[in-house]
Structure 1
Amino acid sequence: MNASTITPTSTWSPLRQPVFRALWMASAVSSIGTWMHDVGAAWLMTSLSPSPFLVALMQAASSLPFFLLALPAGAIADVVDRRKMLLFTQGWMLVVAALLGVLTVTGITTPWILLVLTFALSVGSAMNMPVWQAIVPELVAKEELSSAVTLSGIVINLSRSIGPAVAGIVIAATSTGVVFLLNAASFVAVMLVLYRWQRTTQTSALPAERFVGAIQAGIRYARFAPLLQTVYIRTAAYILFASALFALLPLLGRRELGLDALGYGIILGFWGIGGLTGAFIIPKVRQKTSIDHLVAGASLLMGAMMLVLASVRNVYLICGVMFVVGIASLSVMVSLSVSAQTAVPTWVRARAIATQMLVFQGCMALGSLLWGAIAQRTGISTALTAAAIGLMVCVGLTTRYRLRCVEKFDLSASLHWNQPIQAFEPCPNDGPVMVTLEYRIDADNAEEFTKAMQALSLIRRRDGAIQWGLYQDLSDPGRFVETMVVESWAEHKRQFERVTNSDRVIEDRARAFHVGDTPPKVSQMIYADYVEGRGMRQPC
């Protein structure tokens, strides 16, 4: 394939970007190693222990670190150099995978050692994934983001096609420990590309956000961002039930179908081939239908395939089912990933992605434990049937949460706020800061104005206000005062950079009710802190 055959809107257009292309190829190598590792770990656990609960606990051990660390990882990724963080996390995973490989080759690995090192490896992945996804918009144009995410899906599913089959061959020819060592080696390719990447960082006159403050800002943003909450709800509704397939598939292959490592790898290979096929289907489907219809249809298809897996024990038919599962699962995950990345501005993107991962992995861990316990008591078929029905019911329950709305907003920075004249410049950490805006409102429009301001209140709180209020003057009913409190002067200055073009539309709608000859008066007030021996707060 050459550049002349790539159109600007094609799935392959992001590959024109050299850094994205290099990282994409390196991630393909690493992803193949990861899938080899996952198959090897799951297969090793079924060899070390026949307990369905312990096998399902493997999935929980993989998911729990994402639940615990995703948000801190996202906060770090939005504060530190993302390239350096990626190098650290890739190195961490290399060491853990190599250690597990050595222990397994020497026959030391036990079920609990496997669980602990699986947890440790997942710690590295949890710290890595938010920043990995957050750098994608840095490497490609906005209109190519969906294609870039689809290309990442191609890598995942291509590796899912190749990795399990290679793992089966390696396990049959050597041992599971060799698979772990090959996975450790695969991280080297990514580290080499990252080391050579000359990343351009954006500079700001403001100090970097502090770790705890960055986490709080991420939580605050998610709390007051309805668009992002929609993505989280749809993610949870899908993963909680689809996790049954991810958790119980190793047992289904070994216990119900009597497959060896190679046979199990082939089944996963058909899953990957289906996902690879879906990568070519998704762009065409998206041209003909909305993202909501695509996610709903793919979720129903996934549920139907889980019902088939609950009752069918023919290997050839199951290979066909896994092919369809690959198409359905990629369609849902690409759509949800693109929605999460386009629902937020750049400054909080890693934290938003991390929060989505927290929802994803939390539901994966909870679902794995739930369906593993149900399978332990009632059998694999019953657990898969219950999960499939639950998934299809959730499609109907979540239709009111529309992902299509996410695509309609311009989240680029508007930078339209003007700094009021001030007598002195506070220090960045001085605070809290109170900001007031005074409006003159016609009495006939007061009710409509307050409704418009409620929409604006979400933006104020989302972007930094820890308190917000709207007050009407009892002695002058036409005078309204908006107040917001921000924890520090630096955080208030960051609000100037965080307001987006879509926010400006809502702000203009509220300010249209103002009837004064001049714009609303803006006042900035710093907390009057008096320290014995130093006196009142001084200019910085």
Structure 2
Amino acid sequence: MPDEKPTSDERTGPDERSPLRDPVFRALWIAVLAGNVGTWMQTVGAQWLVVHQPDAATWVSLVQTATMLPVLLFALPAGALADTLDRRRLLIVVQIGLCAIAAVLAVLTARDDIGPRGLLVFTFLLGCGQAVTLPSWQAVIPELVSHDQLPSASALGAVNTNLARSAGPALAGLLVAHFGSAVVFGLNALSFAVFAVALLRWRRAPNPPARHPEHFASALRAGGRYVRWSPVIRRILGRVLLFVVPGSVVWGLLPLVASRELRMGADGYGLLLAALGAGAIAGALLMPRARRLLRTNQMIVAAGAVYGVALLVTALVPNRFAVAPALVGAGLAWMMLVSRMNAAMQLFLPNWVRARALAIYQLVFAGGQALGAVAWGQSVQAFGLRQTFGVAAVLMLAGTATVRLWPVHTHEDEDHSPAVFWAEPHLMLQPHLTDGPILVSATYRVPPANATAFAAAMLGLRGSRQRTGATQWGLFRDGADPGRFVEVYLVPTWEEHLRQHEGRLTGDDEQAEQRATALAEGPPEVRHLLPAEHSE
């Protein structure tokens, strides 16, 4: 199977718990754990509040959709905000707002003034807050730990999520069974307050202001452009989608499995979710060994196979003593794949676009869950619960089988740190920052013997130019002078081109440029062509 070789970090990586030795990371990790527990309790309380409604399958799946749909709608704008605003302050404001929304929901539920439609509205609003929180928090993590600790921090993030998935549903099931959903919603409000307090206590070192801070609209476009021209990121996103869409059947329809197939109450449903969480915690504990033994694509195959078998067991053996162990395996597989893909994203992304690209990752992840939940809910109505789980199992195994044709190459050994290596442009005309488009040309003299290799090396630079700002790119050879090659690319504005000079390029971009230049007779002659209507 084609795959990248394990990196040194994968073979001998740092202690998985090493980030927790940092007091700031530890405090925020615990606060996030509280927030995740509250979120899972919220989900259980909301789903159980509608499980006895007419058309329960539709209502239960809509709760999952209302939770995830905001990420689909707002993840990219939230990522742009996180890359252009102070991430700590943004997180604090959002947590305060979420606390207020959850508190109002708790009061209305306690007064029995909330119906299924109102519950979906509040669930959607809470999902909007989470949509803003996720990319901001993910982008903050590299500020808290060193680069070689990022895989460990990502694994700890998965442990955090799955500790919450294990404890939150079980605790929520007991509280809902004995006190009702209002108590669960109130505790969720408290969890947001805990996270806000931890963020207030974090004294983050101020970042130096950017020379040319990005505006919201251009930041959105730049984030989408980066992902579009990054094959590594596109492969990761595609692989996540192939796993999450069939896998979402568990998260969307498990309440129906508990109530209809296994004849279990709210506390039993909580225990099934706890089985998922326990499997995920086991997966987190096994991750260091798995990273040493399994390459990325082997991990994808193993996770997909285990999860597919778990879905088959749920479809064919409606017995709690069979389903619960299967869910442990599903939780383990889910955690391993999601953690591996998240770590690959964190290690690959440069800081300037980190939150936006992670927001797109969250968009694909949550969008797959939200749309999958709707589809599986309708499938239950049309074909039945067991048949729906059987179809999801077939799709999971079929998607896993495509790894040989569509492998993931993470290139974790490349240098993605910022590199400022372009000379500052010196112009007789001084353009305004908003002037554009700007046509940049670079003329190379290339010996005939190097022409083919040079053209291939320059194609490797195309992605670099377009990830960092160019909207069009081309390489041309002079028909009258075959040794003269001209690279041209178009950038929307002068400000966007200056950002290429000032920190968007990485060490890997620099190495790619050096490989091309080594095949030419010296560095290129660079020109910047401004709009003809430019006013001095």
- TM-score interval (norm. to shorter): over 0.9
Return the alpha-carbon distance in structure 1 between the equivalents of residues 174 and 210 of structure 2: 55
Post-superposition shift, 1:115?
1.2
Q: Which residue of 2 aligns with 1:118?
A: 123
Do 2:438 and 2:493's aligned partners in 1 also have CA atoms closer than 8 Å? Answer: yes
RMSD of aligned alpha carbons: 1.6
The size of the alignment, in residue pairs, is: 524
String of CA shifts for 1:333-390, please: whole Å, max 9, x gaps.
1011111112211111111111111111221122111111111111111011111111
Return the alpha-carbon distance in structure 2 between the equivalents of residues 59 and 21 of structure 1: 30
Q: Which residue of 2 aligns with 1:93?
A: 98
Return the alpha-carbon distance in structure 2 between the equivalents of residues 404 and 524 of structure 1: 35
Q: Which residue of 2 aligns with 1:521?
A: 525
Of 190, 194, 201, which residue of structure 1 is paired with 2:195? Answer: 190
Post-superposition shift, 1:425?
4.3
Post-superposition shift, 1:298?
1.1
Do 1:90 and 1:124's aligned partners in 2 also have CA atoms closer than 8 Å? Answer: yes
Post-superposition shift, 1:148?
0.7
Q: Unaligned stretches of 5+ in structure 1?
A: 1-6, 531-535
Alignment of 1:139-538 (within 5 A): 139-423=144-428, 425-496=430-501, 497-515=503-521, 518-530=522-534, 536-537=535-536
String of CA shifts for 1:122-148, please: whole Å, max 9, x gaps.
011011101111111110011111111
Counterpart AA for 1:341: Q
Q: Which residue of 2 aligns with 1:533?
A: none
Do 2:344 and 2:410's aligned partners in 1 also have CA atoms closer than 8 Å? Answer: no
Do 1:294 and 1:331's aligned partners in 2 also have CA atoms closer than 8 Å? Answer: yes
Matched, 1:63 2:57: no
- Greater shift in the superposed pair: 112-121 or 441-450: 441-450
Return the alpha-carbon distance in structure 1 between the equivalents of residues 285 and 473 of structure 2: 47
TM-score by length of 2: 0.94
Q: Which residue of 1 aligns with 2:20?
A: 15
User: Secondary structure of 2:461's partner?
Assistant: helix
Return the alpha-carbon distance in structure 2 between the equivalents of residues 369 and 172 of structure 1: 27
Do 1:445 and 1:513's aligned partners in 2 also have CA atoms closer than 8 Å? Answer: yes
Return the alpha-carbon distance in structure 2 between the equivalents of residues 277 and 357 of structure 1: 24
Of 42, 50, 59, which residue of structure 2 is paired with 1:54? Answer: 59
User: Secondary structure of 1:43's partner?
Assistant: helix
Return the alpha-carbon distance in structure 1 between the equivalents of residues 97 and 389 of structure 2: 35
String of CA shifts for 1:89-126, please: whole Å, max 9, x gaps.
21222122112111111111111111111111101101
User: Secondary structure of 2:52's partner?
Assistant: helix
Post-superposition shift, 1:14?
0.1
Counterpart AA for 2:194: A
User: Secondary structure of 1:407's partner?
Assistant: coil
Post-superposition shift, 1:77?
0.5
Of 20, 23, 30, which residue of structure 2 is paired with 1:25? Answer: 30
String of CA shifts for 1:69-91, please: whole Å, max 9, x gaps.
11111111100000011112212
User: Secondary structure of 1:471's partner?
Assistant: strand
Counterpart AA for 2:386: S
Post-superposition shift, 1:413?
1.6
- Greater shift in the superposed pair: 248-257 or 213-222: 248-257
Of 41, 44, 63, which residue of structure 1 is paired with 2:49? Answer: 44
- Greater shift in the superposed pair: 120-129 or 425-434: 425-434
Do 2:254 and 2:269's aligned partners in 1 also have CA atoms closer than 8 Å? Answer: no
Counterpart AA for 2:138: Q
Return the alpha-carbon distance in structure 2 between the equivalents of residues 243 and 161 of structure 1: 17
Post-superposition shift, 1:246?
1.2
Post-superposition shift, 1:317?
2.4
Return the alpha-carbon distance in structure 1 between the equivalents of residues 470 and 245 of structure 2: 33
Post-superposition shift, 1:526?
2.5
Return the alpha-carbon distance in structure 1 between the equivalents of residues 27 and 244 of structure 2: 31
Q: Unaligned stretches of 5+ in structure 2?
A: 1-11
TM-score by length of 1: 0.94
Return the alpha-carbon distance in structure 2 between the equivalents of residues 164 and 470 of structure 1: 57
Return the alpha-carbon distance in structure 1 between the equivalents of residues 470 and 389 of structure 2: 45
Counterpart AA for 1:27: V
Return the alpha-carbon distance in structure 2 between the equivalents of residues 477 and 204 of structure 1: 46
- 1:230/1:8 CA distance change after superposition, 3 Å: closer
User: Secondary structure of 1:421's partner?
Assistant: coil
Return the alpha-carbon distance in structure 1 between the equivalents of residues 113 and 403 of structure 2: 47
Return the alpha-carbon distance in structure 2 between the equivalents of residues 289 and 397 of structure 1: 18
Do 1:438 and 1:482's aligned partners in 2 also have CA atoms closer than 8 Å? Answer: yes
Counterpart AA for 1:456: L
Do 1:434 and 1:526's aligned partners in 2 also have CA atoms closer than 8 Å? Answer: yes
Post-superposition shift, 1:47?
2.8
Post-superposition shift, 1:210?
0.6
